[in-house]
């Protein structure tokens, strides 16, 4: 039975690909990372983002419509 490797580069995204996936610039992604808003791996000087990092970030910034008040 093979164990899934959490740091496999075939599943993780580079900074460029993660920024494209999120629809932000690489500078904005760097700022999110520096602010601790998105998780990442740093392996051999490369910064990689797992699908879970992307998903967790999107969940943390999700906004739901407010309930309508009755007048």
* pLDDT over threshold 50, residue 2: no
Locate tokens 């520096």: which residue?
Answer: 34
Confidence of residue 1 (pLDDT cuts 50, 70, 90): very low
Q: What tokens were used for 42?
A: 């740093």
| Model confidence, pTM | 0.75
Note the pLDDT tens digit of each residue in 17-70.
999 999 999 999 999 999 999 999 999 999 999 999 999 999 999 998 888 877
Rounded alpha-carbon distances, angstroms, from residue 26 to 1, 31, 45, 70: 38, 9, 16, 43
Q: Classify 2 in phi/psi space as left (phi over 0), alpha (psi -120 to 50) or beta.
A: beta
Q: Please, how many CA atoms are within 13 Å of residue 23, restricted to the half-sphere of its CB? A: 1
- Here the tokens at position 65 are 């419509």
């Amino acid at each position: 039975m093979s164990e899934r490797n959490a740091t496999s580069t075939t599943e993780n995204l580079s900074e460029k690909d993660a920024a494209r996936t999120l629809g932000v610039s690489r500078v904005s992604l760097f700022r999110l990372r520096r602010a601790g808003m998105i998780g990442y791996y740093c392996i051999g000087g490369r910064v990689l983002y797992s699908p879970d990092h992307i998903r967790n970030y999107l969940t943390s910034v999700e906004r739901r419509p407010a309930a309508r008040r009755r007048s």
